[in-house]
Amino acid sequence: MWRRLRRLWRAFFPARANPDDAWALGELRLEEAHLYKAMDSRDREHAVWVARRLLERYPEAPGFVVRAALLHDCGKALRPYRPLERILTGLLRLDVPIEPLQKGLIGAWQIRQHHPEYGAARILDPQVAQIVREHHRPRSLWASRLCEVDEEF
């Protein structure tokens, strides 16, 4: 709960986000780096937190799982980070089609609902893509572990 409130508060202060990009980029493959870099600093900070927590809890996590943790929300980068939109789409559920992705407010709900698929579609490694695709609806062991850690932040 406190972590969630903290994340909410920090959503309004992008300058305070301090993601460890050097560590993240050292873990990612070259062709994955642009997906990570395209994310807002607040989403990158979240990604690094999640990946590190996952490693703390499951030190045996294979490299592809750590990469999936770092990229799990990369589908959100298709839209600028707007804190109020993030809050609104979190509070109010709407069922929206996956395509075409719209620029208007509907697009905010599309990102909320379909970012796992948008992200997965951009990832080359099928193992990483699968975990990213499942991160809110896990069907495999590592996706459920990622989901568990993700929900703490």
Binding stretches for Fe ion (CB under 5 A): 73, 150
Cβ neighbour number for residue 15 with a 10 Å cutoff: 6
The backbone region for 108, taken as left when phi is positive above 0, alpha when psi lies in -120 to 50, beta otherwise, is alpha
Taking the least distance from each CB to Fe ion, the nearer of 90 and 126 is 90
Question: Closer CB to Fe ion, residue 40 or residue 150?
Answer: 150
Residue closer to Fe ion by CB (options 45, 73) is 73
Rounded to a whole number of angstroms, the minimum distance from the CB of residue 40 to Fe ion is 12
Burial (Cβ within 10 Å: 0-12, 13-18, ≥19) of residue 139: exposed
- Work out how close the CB of 84 gets to Fe ion at its nearest, in angstroms, rounded to a whole number: 18
Q: CB nearer to Fe ion: give 30 or 45.
A: 45
Shortest gap between Cβ of 102 and Fe ion (angstroms)?
19
72, 132 Cβ separation under 8 angstroms? yes
Report the nearest approach of Fe ion to the CB of residue 71 (Å).
10
Using Cβ positions, the residue closest to Fe ion within the complex turns out to be 150
State how far the Cα of 49 lies from the Cα of 40, in Å rounded to an integer.
14
CB 74 within 8 A of CB 36: yes
